[in-house]
Amino acid sequence: MALEEKREKRPPVTPMMIEEEAALRNGSRGLPPGPWAEAAGPRPRTTERHIAVHKRLVLGFAVSILALLAVTMIAVLLSVRFEECGAAADGPPRAGGNGSLSGAARQPPGAEQPPGQSEEEARGGEAAEEEEEEEEEWQRRRELPPWARPRLPRHLRPLHYNLMLSAFMENFTFSGEVNVQLEVRNASRYIVLHAHRMHIEAVRVAEDKLAGGVRVARTFFYPQTQVFVVVLNRSLEVQRSYNLKIIYNALIENELLGFFRSSYVLHGERRFLGVTQFSPTHARKAFPCFDEPIYKATFKISIRHQATYLSLSNMPVETSVFEEDGWVTDHFSQTPLMSTYYLAWAVCNFTYRETVTKSGVVVRLYARPDAIRRGSGDYALNITRRLIEFYEDYFKVPYSLPKLDLLAVPKHPYAAMENWGLSVFVEQRILLDPSISSILYLLDVTMVIVHELCHQWFGDLVTPVWWEDVWLKEGFAHYFEFVGTDYLYPGWNMGAALIRMLANFMGHSVFQMGLQDYLTIHKYGNAARNDLWNTLSKALKRVGKSVNIQEVMDQWTLQMGYPVITILGNETTDNIIVISQERFVYDSDAKPKDPARGDNSYLWQIPLTIAVGNTSHISSEAIIWVSNKSEHHRIPALEEASWLLGNINQTGYFRVNYDIRNWRLLINQLTRNHEVISVSNRAGLIDDAFNLARAGYLPQNIPLEIMRYLSEEKDFLPWHAASRALYPLDKLLDRTENYNIFNEYILRQVASMYLKLGWPTNNLNKSLVQASYQHEELRREVIMLACSFGNKHCHQQAATLISDWISSNRNRIPLNVRDIVYCTGVSLMDEDVWEFIWMKFHSTTAVSEKKILLEALTCSDDRNLLNRLLNLSLNSEVVLDQDAIDVIIHVARNPHGRDLAWKFFREKWKILNARYGEALFMNSKLVSGVTEFLNTEGELRELKNFIKSYEGGAAVSFSRAVETVEANVRWQRLYKEELFQWLRKSLTQ
């Protein structure tokens, strides 16, 4: 999915009208010969008659008047007939050199304007009046004009785009010519399509069958909805097709959306590249188009560029035409039907490696030449081939294009973007060097690739109708992160996901069959959630089951949040339990988003799996459908010493709470014989208990008591769940007076396992993921907890390893714990260590190493160094734009830097919002990361005051931030002292 920015906001674009007189002077210059030029060009003037001068003054005067009238009429006719228009957005200047285009807005050399009001001003005034009159007409109809509506009018449908681009990398501009074949569904004299931040040079409209041009009355931009409007002299006729031709130019921006530029350094030389990011609504910055998912069309792309570069797009190159002046034009094959936001291209001087799947799909990975030479893309290339083969077999639908390119770029707003046939990845999420990359980094790369490849089917082949159903493609991609990774490395455990719950209660084979039907029916088209639900219901019906999937899943997809199930024993009746449901919230004082419906109105149909256990045995699971606020159910064989366990193997997308007696029985079971309960459920109990306590559903001591059994836990997942759950609790406490009490308790729980596991050596088998993965990740998790909470031996070991690196200039730190050692060393040691890490950050070319070095710099206890790093983060030459966000967030996570990052964020908000504002994902990540651990009344006031005064977007992100900080403040007020009291008592026992 899903980003998804950084440019400064520009003033609204002023709509520009047709400048007929300037067009008349320019004629049809720059247009190719043929019907376009004939339709646009002025009529030849008739031969001027020779008029003999009559001696009589009256006759002479009459003839003069007649001649003047004739000339005036010809000029008016020519003005009406000439249809070229120039409309300029408040955008980039025209490209120079090869990029310059003839346009109606440009005057010929030597042309003079009469004194007083300029021609442009006069025409602009007339056009403005026309617009006002039209606006008034629509108001009289009590309708919004088609260009002011949030979605495009439905009277036209694009069938095909022919897009020709010229990229000028020396001055970062590009020019384009787009020809759109349009089908008319309803008669209209308006063509409304998206275009943003570009200069329109010329517009033509003609019927396909060479029936001549359709006169353009005027054109204008409407910046509020980012559309360009072509007003015609007559309506387009229904069931006919027309060709819309637009010539334009724009900048290759130094930002993160549309067609933007990036750079890297090779052999001391800075090299530039241009790449696109169109999702969700940024294709309109690169070419005028119908930029909504429903408007699928075919595309024929041609890219002209200097021969020192290569160009890529969704399809393979069909032909390349070389010019004598060192330029080349690549013509790409026509695409299948697709949405604009999956269109992509790049202009770069990368190199590649390639492989081929069993079905003949050519897979290439393009990256910086030095990265390709080192083999940094080989891992990604090889698993991509295997994953395409896996998905083709699983879905029974072949990959739809002849090739798939993976493009590794230095700068990108998201981890990756699944453009059909040309997936773009930020380097850190696809390149790795086995000699210096940790297992964790490798698995992160794996899951990103698995996710993006799934989108080649869910998203590219079958596209959501509208953004409200974008979760369809993202939900499936998230689910297949685990399915696909488990295919590559069997034995992986799955994470919780809504789609996984659906697959579990349907049965995985039936679910798979339903997905195959869904993709087959809707391929190359659009689908909404009900299309999926109906297909899955039919699959169930084929195996004799009758479940209305839509009825079940609408409650999960259309309501906010997810439920918490509470299971209570009935003290008066044997074998009867009470099961209730409510919406899970961290702050029960928070008002519902919709005041008309409180939390009591939220209901889900919940497939609750449940089992009964005792000290030595657990029963097979049963499923209970919970659909009411509270229900009574009879559970056979529920004896006095038996405990209940809900959501078996964490297949459901909800949390489970129990009465205190059942929690005590479960804690006792974990202490005596934890293996009776499965690994997944042990992890689930830890995760649920910590989050339920944080939200106030459960006493604060329960999750900390559960932790005590971990000294005997040899599996990775429960430790990982504990580490992940402790993190937000640690951040709530790390600036409190009694933090050392909490710190000491955690160290006691970690100490014995830390001693058992020890530290890894640096002679790990270099095979990328091995059988010992779980063991190595367990060791890493325990070392991280030990060093984070101040285990003395852990600190000494980290300092020794750092010192050895500095003195020998050989990095012998084990790969899987390098990030932990770097961070611990920077935190404990002097400024010289910080400077050493800073130097290594600049000198390394390995992206995985660069990432953890930069994060280590944020671990310092020195506030001056943290401030220095924050200020350096805004220098794009030093820290990449997407990495600057991580710097600010990691400083905010450091208790010594939290207030510094929060202050920096507020002071630099205008710069940050200008840089990331349109990249909603990045802006949301920044706002959340800086504010998520603010937890005092003073910080809450600062946040609210800042929101009142700030300028810019991100309103939703700030609203969520307030909810989070309010929940943090509430926890501090209600539960902090309860927790410390229990900890004091526990530590003295």
Summarised one tens digit per residue, pLDDT across range 456-490 is 999 999 998 888 788 888 889 999 998 999 899 87
Which residue has tokens 């998201």?
414
Query: Which SS3 state, helix, strand or coil, does residue 642 take?
Result: coil
Q: In 230-345, which residue ranges form alpha helices assigned H by DSSP?
A: none
Separation CA 923–CA 3 (nearest Å): 10
* Per-residue confidence (pLDDT) for residue 904, from 0 to 100: 97
Separation CA 842–CA 782 (nearest Å): 30
Residue 459 tokens read as 């998203």
Q: Give yes or no for a contact between 409 and 847, defined as CB atoms under 8 angstroms apart.
A: no
Q: In 6-53, which residue ranges form alpha helices assigned H by DSSP?
A: 20-26, 35-40
Q: Give yes or no for a contact between 29 and 102, defined as CB atoms under 8 angstroms apart.
A: yes
* Per-residue confidence (pLDDT) for residue 495, from 0 to 100: 64
* Per-residue confidence (pLDDT) for residue 924, from 0 to 100: 86
Residues 6+ apart with CB under 8 A from 20: 79, 82, 123
241, with CB counted inside 10 A (0-12, 13-18, 19+), is middle
Compute how many other C-beta atoms are within 10 angstroms of the C-beta atom of residue 499.
21
Q: Which of 691, 649, 686 is nearest to 666 (CA)?
A: 686
| Cα-based angle 156, 159, 162 (whole degrees, multiple of 5) | 120
Q: Which of 178, 184, 170, 185 is nearest to 284 (CA)?
A: 178
Compute how many other C-beta atoms are within 10 angstroms of the C-beta atom of residue 685.
26
* Per-residue confidence (pLDDT) for residue 118, from 0 to 100: 37
Write out the DSSP string of 486-531: HHHSTTPPPPP-HHHHHHHHH-HHHHHHHHHHHHHHHTTEEE-HHH
Which residue has tokens 């010019």?
323
Write out the DSSP string of 253-269: BSSSSEEEEEEEEETTE
Q: Identify any residues that bridge with 630 across adjacent strands, giving them in sequence order.
A: 580
Q: Give yes or no for a contact between 659 and 568, defined as CB atoms under 8 angstroms apart.
A: yes
Q: Give yes or no for a contact between 605 and 551, defined as CB atoms under 8 angstroms apart.
A: yes
Q: Give yes or no for a contact between 106 and 86, defined as CB atoms under 8 angstroms apart.
A: yes
Separation CA 244–CA 852 (nearest Å): 50
Residues 6+ apart with CB under 8 A from 640: none
* Per-residue confidence (pLDDT) for residue 148, from 0 to 100: 93
Alpha carbon dihedral 116, 121, 123, 128, in 10-degree steps, equals: -130
* Per-residue confidence (pLDDT) for residue 668, from 0 to 100: 97
Residue 731 tokens read as 């951040």
* Per-residue confidence (pLDDT) for residue 75, from 0 to 100: 37
* Per-residue confidence (pLDDT) for residue 774, from 0 to 100: 84
941, with CB counted inside 10 A (0-12, 13-18, 19+), is exposed
* Per-residue confidence (pLDDT) for residue 94, from 0 to 100: 37
pLDDT tens digits, 225-243: 999 999 999 999 998 999 9
- Output phi, psi for 346, to 5 deg: -150, 150
Q: Which of 332, 335, 259, 331 is nearest to 297 (CA)?
A: 335
Separation CA 223–CA 90 (nearest Å): 10
- Output phi, psi for 132, to 5 deg: -60, -40
Identity of residue 13 = V
Q: Give yes or no for a contact between 725 and 685, defined as CB atoms under 8 angstroms apart.
A: no
| Cα-based angle 901, 902, 905 (whole degrees, multiple of 5) | 80
Q: What is the pairing mode between strands 606-613 and 643-646?
A: antiparallel
Among 253, 452, 777, 855, the one annotated catalytic: 452
Q: What is the pTM for the complete model shown?
A: 0.83
What kind and span of H or E run contains 441? helix 439-454
Alpha carbon dihedral 531, 535, 541, 547, in 10-degree steps, equals: -50
Compute how many other C-beta atoms are within 10 angstroms of the C-beta atom of residue 507.
14
Per residue, the 3-state secondary structure of 890-928, as one string, reads HHHHCCCCHHHHHHHHHHCHHHHHHHHCCCHHHHHHHHH
* Per-residue confidence (pLDDT) for residue 761, from 0 to 100: 83
Q: Which of 619, 663, 655 is nearest to 638 (CA)?
A: 619
Q: What is the pairing mode between strands 227-236 and 216-222?
A: antiparallel
Separation CA 774–CA 777 (nearest Å): 5
Q: Give yes or no for a contact between 464 and 472, defined as CB atoms under 8 angstroms apart.
A: yes
* Per-residue confidence (pLDDT) for residue 772, from 0 to 100: 73
* Per-residue confidence (pLDDT) for residue 90, from 0 to 100: 38
- Output phi, psi for 518, to 5 deg: -60, -45
Residue 620 tokens read as 């097979």
Which residue has tokens 């949040």?
561
Q: Identify any residues that bridge with 645 across adjacent strands, giving them in sequence order.
A: 611
Residue 19 exposure: Cα atoms within 13 Å on the Cβ side:
24
Residues in the chain: 989
Q: In 41-94, which residue ranges form alpha helices assigned H by DSSP?
A: 57-81
Separation CA 824–CA 787 (nearest Å): 7
In angstroms, the Cα distances linking 695 to 313, 655, 969, 979 are 49, 12, 12, 13
Separation CA 245–CA 288 (nearest Å): 10
The DSSP code for 289 is: B
* Per-residue confidence (pLDDT) for residue 27, from 0 to 100: 32
Separation CA 403–CA 462 (nearest Å): 18
Q: Identify any residues that bridge with 232 across adjacent strands, giving them in sequence order.
A: 216
As averages over each run of 10 residues, the pLDDT of the chain (989 residues) reads: 32 29 30 30 33 37 42 37 38 36 32 36 54 72 88 96 97 98 95 97 84 87 96 93 96 93 91 96 97 96 97 98 95 97 97 97 97 95 97 96 97 92 96 87 94 94 86 88 88 74 94 96 93 95 92 91 92 83 86 52 94 92 95 86 93 96 97 96 97 96 97 95 96 95 97 95 55 84 96 97 96 94 96 97 91 97 97 90 92 97 94 78 86 96 91 79 95 96 93
Residue 482 exposure: Cα atoms within 13 Å on the Cβ side:
15
Residue 524 tokens read as 């190359």
* Per-residue confidence (pLDDT) for residue 59, from 0 to 100: 40
Q: Give yes or no for a contact between 152 and 290, defined as CB atoms under 8 angstroms apart.
A: yes
Residue 626 tokens read as 């919970």
Separation CA 666–CA 314 (nearest Å): 54
Catalytic residue flag (residue 452): yes
